[in-house]
């Protein structure tokens, strides 16, 4: 019989010292003490007031550390990455946690796992199919799925239960969206469709209003829709949800666009029969986006956004900054700044190839900085110190 844990093991005191050693930062502490500003010669760093690890990430990382302490002699497996930060995942690997990666076919190979092993489910959650496969093996399951993600699951599952197709604003290839979309399979007639952005949402709106080729759309969205999905049949009743880390304003705008299409198609008096929506952006994502907007209002010369390239919330923080016309660099960590040449390596957009900048720091005096919800504080601190080293200045840190 599978043992299933979701509420921790009460071992926080035992792991607290290691977590502090692995992820804390004196530089970030100095930012907090200095009203989120830090000077270094002529430079002033301005840190967003909401940044880095959110509650869900904190919980997932703590729970993974507790699991290693609770089961010191067991083999530990992690289904995918615990969060989208290479350093955190590397720490877990160093602790003896084996990370399982998706095969090219899109599935996980669970054949090495036995009933004697322990399996950690990541903060993004896993699909219904993968969860059932793991339960059948009988291994101990430690579930770190974020509570905000679980709230979206409940919403999507309720749509499927009531005969509404879930239209999900998200990235169909992202682990969270895969897991969320799979919740419709709890009901035989459950259906989902994933739209990436407003462009795709408007294509769906066009079809709802009677314009568009169903066959062409089914080919285009083949990887982003449920098996057996029919554009003719499954867009009559829809419920909108979103990946928790998408840009809030875009999610709300997409929901409104779909709502208006349903009104034009069926009339406002019948809207409730055909359309449902609920804002499922997580509060931490929203807070970090709002904090970046407030920081940009102070007029920084450039923005550094620190975090994994495959971190959805981090890429959206960078996009938010670029959209407001601020020179923005999304870097994974401090090593993106070359100490010898001063060059900076960054990702200029979602899934874009890395780019090298030669004179990125020229004429910059006010440097804004933030980090995605999966970025530990020490990576923020290391980045600030690396910028100072390249600029030839010393940060004003308390002794």
How many whole angstroms separate alpha carbon 255 and alpha carbon 239?
Answer: 9
Domain end (from 145, 160, 187): 145
Q: What is the pLDDT of residue 199?
A: 97
Structure tokens at 335: 């090593």
pLDDT in tens, 357-380: 999 999 999 999 999 999 999 999
Domain count, the chain: 3
First CA to last CA across the chain, in angstroms?
A: 55
Q: 50, 62, 175, 176: which one is catalytic?
A: 176
For residues 320 and 250, membership in a common domain is answered with no
Neighbouring CB atoms inside 10 A of 325's CB total 8
CB 242 within 8 A of CB 251: yes
Kindly state whether residue 73 falls inside one of the protein's structural domains: yes
Q: What is the pLDDT of residue 399?
A: 64
How many whole angstroms separate alpha carbon 8 and alpha carbon 55?
Answer: 14
For residues 177 and 266, membership in a common domain is answered with yes
pLDDT in tens, 222-244: 999 999 999 999 999 999 999 99
Kindly state whether residue 4 falls inside one of the protein's structural domains: no
How many whole angstroms separate alpha carbon 26 and alpha carbon 46?
Answer: 16
CATH assignment at residue 362: 3.40.1010.20
For residues 191 and 262, membership in a common domain is answered with yes
Average pLDDT over residues 317-328: 96
For residues 261 and 290, membership in a common domain is answered with no
> 176 an active-site residue?
yes
For residues 232 and 178, membership in a common domain is answered with yes
Q: Which domain holds residue 75?
A: 56-145
State the pLDDT confidence band at 278, using cuts at 50, 70 and 90: confident
For residues 161 and 270, membership in a common domain is answered with yes
Domain end (from 145, 162, 192): 145
pLDDT in tens, 169-186: 999 999 999 999 999 999
pTM, whole model, 2 decimals?
A: 0.91
CATH assignment at residue 118: 3.40.50.11270
Which DSSP letter does residue 347 get? Answer: B
Classify residue 90 as exposed, middle or buried by CB count within 10 Å of its CB (0-12, 13-18, 19+). exposed
Average pLDDT over residues 77-93: 95
pLDDT in tens, 51-72: 999 999 999 999 999 999 999 9
For residues 185 and 77, membership in a common domain is answered with no
């Amino acid at each position: 019989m599978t043992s299933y844990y979701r509420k921790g093991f009460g071992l926080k005191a035992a792991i607290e010292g290691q977590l502090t050693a692995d992820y804390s930062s004196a530089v970030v502490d100095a930012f907090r003490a200095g009203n989120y500003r830090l000077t270094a010669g002529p430079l002033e760093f301005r840190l967003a007031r909401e940044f880095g690890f959110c509650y869900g990430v904190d919980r997932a990382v703590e729970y993974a550390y507790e699991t290693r302490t609770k089961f010191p002699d067991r083999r530990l497996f992690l289904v995918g990455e615990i969060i989208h930060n290479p350093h955190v995942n590397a720490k877990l690997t160093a602790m003896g946690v084996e990370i399982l990666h998706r095969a090219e076919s899109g599935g996980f190979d669970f054949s090495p796992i036995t009933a004697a092993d322990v399996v950690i489910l990541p903060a993004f959650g896993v699909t219904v199919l993968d969860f059932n496969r793991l339960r059948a093996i009988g291994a101990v399951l430690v579930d770190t799925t974020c509570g905000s993600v679980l709230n979206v699951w409940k919403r999507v599952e309720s749509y499927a239960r009531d005969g509404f197709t879930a239209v999900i604003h998200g990235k169909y290839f992202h682990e969270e969206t895969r897991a969320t979309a799979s919740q419709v399979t709890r009901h035989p007639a459950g259906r989902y469709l994933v739209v990436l952005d407003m462009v795709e949402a408007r294509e769906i709106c066009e079809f709802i209003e009677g314009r568009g080729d169903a066959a062409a759309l089914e080919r285009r969205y083949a990887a982003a829709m449920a098996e057996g999905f029919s554009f003719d049949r499954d867009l009559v009743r829809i419920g909108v949800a979103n990946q928790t880390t998408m840009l809030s304003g875009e999610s709300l705008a997409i929901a409104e666009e779909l709502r208006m299409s349903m009104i034009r198609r069926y009339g406002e008096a019948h809207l409730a029969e055909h359309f449902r929506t609920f804002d499922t952006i997580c509060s931490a994502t929203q807070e970090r986006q709002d904090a970046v907007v407030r920081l940009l209002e102070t007029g920084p010369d450039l923005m550094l956004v620190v975090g994994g390239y495959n971190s959805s919330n981090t890429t959206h923080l960078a996009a938010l900054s670029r959209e407001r016309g601020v020179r923005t660099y999304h870097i994974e960590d401090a090593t993106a700044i070359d100490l010898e040449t001063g060059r900076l390596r960054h990702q200029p957009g979602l899934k874009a190839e890395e780019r090298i900048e030669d004179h990125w720091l020229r004429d910059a005096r006010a440097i804004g900085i933030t980090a995605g919800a999966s970025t530990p504080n020490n990576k923020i601190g290391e980045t600030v110190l690396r910028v100072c080293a390249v600029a030839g200045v010393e940060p004003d840190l308390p002794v």
